[in-house]
Structures are given as C-alpha cells and as structure tokens.
Amino acid sequence: MLLPNTGVSAALFVAGALCFLGGIIALQTRNHATGASSLITLMFSLCWWDVTYGLFLANTPALYSNFWLHVVYIGVVFTPPSVLWFVMQILGLTAWSRPPFVISLYAISALVLTLVITDSRHGLFFGGREITNAEMILSGGPIFWANLAYSYTLMLTSLFILTHRFRKATGIYRKQLGIILLGVGIPWISNLIFVSGLSPLPKVDTTPLSFTVTGMIFTYALLRFRLLEIIPIARDVLIENMSDGVIVLDSQNRLVDFNPAALQSLELDQPPQMGQPASEIFAKWAELAQDFSSVNDVRVELTFDQPARAFLDLKISSLYDHNANFLGRLIVWRDITPLKNAQAELQEQAIRDPLTGLYNRRYLNEALTRELARAARERYPISLALIDIDDFKRLNDEYGHPAGDSVLRGFAKQLLDQTRVEDMAYRYGGEEFLVLLPNCPGANAVNIADKWRKSFSTANPSYKNGTKEFTISCGIAEFPTDGRTGAELIAAADQFLYQAKATGKNRVVARANR
C-alpha cells in the first residue's frame, strides 16, 4: 500500500537527480569559471535537500526520531547562503564574495544545523517535538524563526542586488540576469506561500521543489546563455578601476557620477558633491568647461603647458533614455602624454642619424623646402655648406671603422657647438655633412666654415702616429644667388666642394672666393 506522500517523494527524487546532473555539468564544463564554485555548491545542496526530504516524506526507517529531518536540514541551511554567494560572484562583487565573508555565511548555517540536531536537549528549534511526514513544521522555537529571517534576508538581498543590476544591464548580460532573477524569485515566493499556510499541500514543504526549478533554470542558463562563461562586469570593478577619468553630468551640467581617476586628474582639494556645477568641478580647466558646456558630442585632443606639457584625449557623449529624452553627458578623458612623447621620440629617431645624432638626409628635403619658402617670403639669404672629411677612406682602411666613427661623432659635436640655434646640421651621407644657415650671406658663411675647418684640424692633428694632417673641405652655395631650389643649391655647393678637393683640399670654396 502506497504511503500518502509517495508521489511527492518520487517527484523529489527526480528533482534531486536533476540538480545532481546540473552540478555535474557545471563541474565538468565551467569548473574554473567565476561563479562555478558557488553554483556547484548550490546544486549539490539542492540535490541533498530533495533526496533526503523525499526519504523523510516516504517514512523511510530512521536511526532515531527526527533523523531524516536533521539530515534534510543540511540542504536547507546551506542553500540560501549558496544562492547569495552565487549572485555575488556572477555580479563581480569581489569585496563581498571573498572567503572571510562567505565562510561567515556558512558558519551561521552550520550553527543553526547544530541547534537543529541538538533540539531535543534545548527545544530552541522544534520545541522538543518529534516531527513526522504528516505534521510538517510551521512554527517552532526562537531559532526556527531566527533561521527563517536569516534565510529570507539572504534571498531578499540576492533579489535586490539582482534587480538593481538587471535594470542597468543590456544584451546577453540582461538575458543572463533575467534568468537568474527568475530562478531566485521562485523559491522565495513558494516558501512564503508555504509558511503563510496558503500552500495547496499544507503538510508538505514545496520549497525544495521550487528550489529545484531554480537549479534547472540555472542549468538552462549555463547551456543556453553561456552562464559563467560570459559574466557581467560590475560597474564598481569597471569604472572605479579605470585609468581614464570619467565624469557624468545631468542635463543642467551638474555632477551625477565620477571615478577616482577623475579626481586625481582634476586635483580637487576635496571630493566633489553630487549636483555640483561642472564649472566648479572643472575649475582647473576653466577654458575647457566654457568651451564644451553646451557641446553634446565631440572628441578632441587637448594640450596643457602648465605645470608640464601634457596631452589629453577627451570625448563627450550625449546620454538619452529609451524615449530619446536628453539626460546629460558622459565625459571621458585619457592622459596620452606618454603616447605623445613616444611618438615624438620615434619621429625624432626617424629624422636623426643614429651615429652622430644630427638630422639625416630624409629630413633635409622637408626642412630645405620649408626654409627656402620662408626665405623667399621674408626676403633674406640662406647659405648651404656641404662639408667632406678629407681622405676619410684612408682613415677607415688604416685604423678601422671604430676610429672613423669616433671622428664622425666628434665632428658632429663640433658642428652643434659652433652653430647658431637657427642653423641646422645634417649628416648628408658617409663622411659628408651639410649645414643650413638661415639669414646668413655667403661671405659670412665662408668665414664661419673656415672656423670649422681650423677647429677640426686642431682637434684632429694627425692620424694617430701618422704624419697626414686631418682636414675637411667645404663648398658653400647661397640662396638665391647660386640656386632658387634645394636641388640647385646642393648641386652648386657640391660643385664648389669638388673645386676645394681638386685644388688641394683643406679649404672652403664659394662663388665669392673662387
């Protein structure tokens, strides 16, 4: 003859098997994912609750009075903290899902379980009564009600933070949270109906069955919506830890939200207050606040020279609600000074000769065109000096390339030391150098180049132990007399340099002194 609750027991056994299956799926497929540990704990707690409660309702022979109920409560007390732990993990609430807090949740549950098992001694939970499957407990001692309040608090907290996050979520995150919200809500409502005496099965606690529905919903989300594989990132984790400054203003340009990086960039004496005008928040950047106070969408690069040169990439985006009503602005800025400095360094390296540190031939073409255009516009002369180190090949052949490199570096330093700020020195190629002298007539350039020649000979009197004097030759062309384009000037200077070489070297040749 079937017992009165055999059908419910069978349903609970099936539910327990499904929860066990869900736990195994999570264990096998998402074992290392965020939220896996709490979900697995929850699924196995539900499995325990279902199976043992089914055995209790079936009047299974027990070792002592209330044995099965004691065993059932292992699942009962550990399920609510598992739900809250799971919710905190998948929402990225790392500060609350760390071991100390989680252990404290389960420690309270373990204490309640201990009081359940020892109730015959103190009567604080069941009141010392023997509970059978035909008399499900609807009231008890103070610990019963305290545990009920504790469990409801955990479930309500889970519902609250899920609802709050669900309202802000989008895309697959919103679908995930919607499924989880449904799963958490069902057992809470079911248990409330049971405790209030409105259940269609007043002698049977349907809470484990409703929690099983939760477990199945979570398993469905695990397989259908990639639960634990794609986890929403909490606003606190995302925004608070951003290195970019973030400010949110309402439609009246009043502060709504900000992050620590914004405070650091703005260098405020004290944290701003919600509702504070943007003009006060951006007091350090008064010009910025004035220029963009009415701009809804823009992306600009800002440069600040005080206290040190800095660059910001700033973006202002409009915020609208689902009815397209304007809500305010999101202002995000990033310090791109290191990037700009790196770009400038790379650009400098691209136009510099690596051995001598002088400008290279690639940059000469750009600079020469620009300087000649300016000279023509402002009507002043430019001299171009083309310099060659005499017998440089012999130096490399007899004493090696390191010796030659040392001479090249030395001469480059000499040119930098003996030229004006507006002059530009280049390594033209090999042992050839070129110097642009803006606003310098050819006759003056000859005198300057002759000083270079004498200084070079003094600094390099001979090839080490040799007797050959170390010298340079130089050809000088003047704009616009010897040419009106860069190519014409270089060709003229090269011709004068050839004449200097052909007439004995160690000399400066220009049209004026030929």
Residues designated catalytic: 431
Whole-number Å distance between alpha carbons of 170 and 233: 12
- By 3-state DSSP, what share of the chain in percent is helix, strand and coil, each rounded to 5? 55, 15, 30
* Count of CA atoms in the C-beta half-sphere (13 A) of 491: 8
CA atoms within 13 A on the CB side of 329: 24
97-132 burial, b at 16+ Cβ within 10 Å, e below that, comes to beeeebeebeebbeebbebbbebeeeebbbeebebe
Strands (E), 326-485: 326-335, 382-389, 424-429, 432-438, 472-479
Q: Across the strands, what pairs with 299?
A: 315
Cα angle at 116 between 113 and 121, to 5 degrees? 135
Ramachandran category for residue 270: left, alpha or beta (phi over 0 → left; psi -120 to 50 → alpha): beta
Residues 500/511, Cβ–Cβ less than 8 Å: no
Longest dimension (CA), the chain: 132
The sign of the dihedral angle between the CA atoms of 338, 339, 341, 345 is: positive
Residues with Cβ < 8 Å from 494, sequence gap 6 or more? Answer: 386, 475
Tokens of 37: 């540990």
Q: Residue 384 has which token pair?
A: 């171009």
Q: Give bridge partners of residue 508 from the DSSP assignment.
A: 474
Gap between the Cα atoms of 213 and 11, Å rounded: 12
Rounded Cα distance between 166 and 419, Å, is 69
Which residue's structure tokens are 């642009």?
A: 436
- The answer to whether residues 16 and 47 touch, using CB atoms and an 8 Å cutoff, is yes
Q: Report the DSSP pairing between strands 508-510 and 472-479.
A: parallel
How far is the C-alpha of 48 from the C-alpha of 25, rounded, in Å? Answer: 17
Cβ atoms of 278 and 293 closer than 8 Å? yes
DSSP 314-338: EEEEEEE-TT--EEEEEEEEEE-HH
Token couple for 148: 């009920």
CA distance 441 to 461: 30
Instruction: With beta carbons less than 8 A apart as the criterion, state whether 205 and 53 touch.
Output: yes
